[in-house]
């Protein structure tokens, strides 16, 4: 993996998180592309990566193309990459038209396409690129920015298990990775994709309630942030289930029990489930399903 070349098409927040993780893990040679030269200059200075404003030229040079633009920018990007990857089959064969036309962007072996765009299906990418592109789709989340992402990956029709291994190596640079079928990606989006916002919203509510109870705003904020961080770290490190850890801190007749009783009576678990169903429904709508 370390000798592979990777092009990031779109050098925004998620691309930067992955680039930072890959550089730290000394994995692969990286080229970043973007429509904004100032953004590329930033990344070049910060990470020493190669940069280009030409997606097709960058894509033609690499083993792995990471699609890291917004979903609404995807069709334009795929149209621009078609000449590079679209006519190359998963076995690295071509229909001959590029060789015949002497297309400078033509590349003999087929690059792996890794898409991080929410709601863009592998079949849509395959269709818009044409040919038999090897596509792996992932749903990471924003804690990737601090190396703590939870990502699910799934493969399209022409990708192989080795392609999943490659995608997993890239995404492991910024967190954990699970493998799933694409049919579960809406549920993944509802759980871990949108999940950080659920926790942020809870932190907001805890801060507001702390202030209402008389704490200075800064004190409420620091305590809430560290409580969310500490609870997450304990949950991840202890190997115990959330239920076990909850029971450990809930003494009969104590303060935590009084708080949880209100949550249970008011249907907290049902609110979380309804919210996640709404997110999964929206994810299906956005991906045209």
Joined tokens for residue 171: 């995404």
Centre a 10 Å sphere on the Cβ of residue 95 and count the other Cβ atoms it contains: 13
Q: 14 vs 88, which CB is nearer to ligand NAP?
A: 14
Binding residue for ligand NAP (CB under 6 A) from 18, 20, 32, 39?
39
Stretch that binds ligand NAP, among 57-65, 83-91, 104-112, 133-141 (CB under 6 A): 133-141
The encoded tokens of residue 88 equal 């190359």
113 binds ligand NAP (CB under 6 A): no
- Residue 125, burial from CB neighbour count under 10 angstroms (0-12, 13-18, 19+): buried
By CB under 6 A, is residue 55 in contact with ligand NAP?
yes
Which lies closer to ligand NAP via its Cβ, residue 12 or residue 130?
12
Query: By the 8 A CB rule, do 210 and 202 touch?
Result: no
> Do residues 116 and 170 make contact, with C-beta atoms less than 8 angstroms apart?
no
Q: Which residues, listed in sequence order, are joined to residue 154 by a DSSP beta bridge?
A: 137
Residue 117 binds to ligand NAP (criterion: CB under 6 A): yes
Tell me which stretch binds ligand NAP (CB under 6 A): 88-96, 134-142, 176-184, 218-226.
134-142
Tell me which DSSP letter residue 158 carries.
S
Distance of closest approach, residue 156 Cβ to ligand NAP, in angstroms? 16
- Name the minimum Å distance from CB 186 to ligand NAP: 13
What are the backbone dihedrals phi and psi of residue 47, each rounded to the nearest 5 degrees, phi first?
Answer: -125, -5
Residues engaged in binding ligand NAP (CB under 6 A):
9-15, 33-36, 39, 55, 68-71, 73, 76-77, 116-118, 139-142, 193
């Amino acid at each position: 993996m370390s000798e592979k070349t990777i092009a990031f098409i779109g050098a925004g927040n998620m691309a930067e998180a992955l680039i930072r993780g890959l550089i730290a893990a000394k994995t692969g040679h990286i080229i970043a592309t973007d429509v904004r030269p100032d953004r590329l200059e930033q990344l070049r200075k910060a990470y020493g990566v190669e940069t280009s404003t030409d997606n097709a030229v960058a894509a033609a040079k690499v083993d792995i193309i990471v699609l890291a633009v917004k979903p609404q920018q995807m069709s334009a990007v795929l149209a621009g990459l078609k000449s590079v990857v679209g006519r190359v089959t998963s076995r690295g064969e071509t229909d001959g038209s590029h060789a015949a036309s002497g297309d400078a962007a033509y590349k003999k072996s087929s690059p792996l396409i890794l898409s991080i765009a929410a709601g863009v299906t592998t079949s849509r990418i395959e269709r818009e690129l044409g040919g038999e592109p090897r596509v792996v789709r992932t749903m990471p989340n924003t804690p990737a920015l601090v190396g703590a992402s939870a990502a699910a990956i799934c493969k399209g029709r022409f990708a192989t298990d080795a392609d999943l291994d490659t995608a997993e190596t890239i995404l492991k640079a910024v967190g954990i990775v699970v493998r799933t079928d694409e049919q579960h990606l809406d549920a993944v989006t509802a759980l871990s994709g949108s999940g950080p916002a659920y926790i942020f919203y809870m932190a907001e509510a805890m801060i507001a309630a702390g202030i209402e109870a008389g704490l200075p705003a800064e004190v409420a904020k620091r305590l809430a942030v560290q409580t969310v961080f500490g609870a997450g770290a304990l949950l991840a490190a202890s190997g115990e289930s959330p239920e076990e850890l909850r029971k450990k801190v809930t003494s009969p007749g104590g303060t935590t029990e009084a708080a949880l009783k209100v949550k249970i009576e008011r249907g907290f678990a049902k609110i979380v489930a309804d919210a996640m169903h709404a997110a999964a429904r929206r994810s299906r709508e956005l991906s045209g399903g």
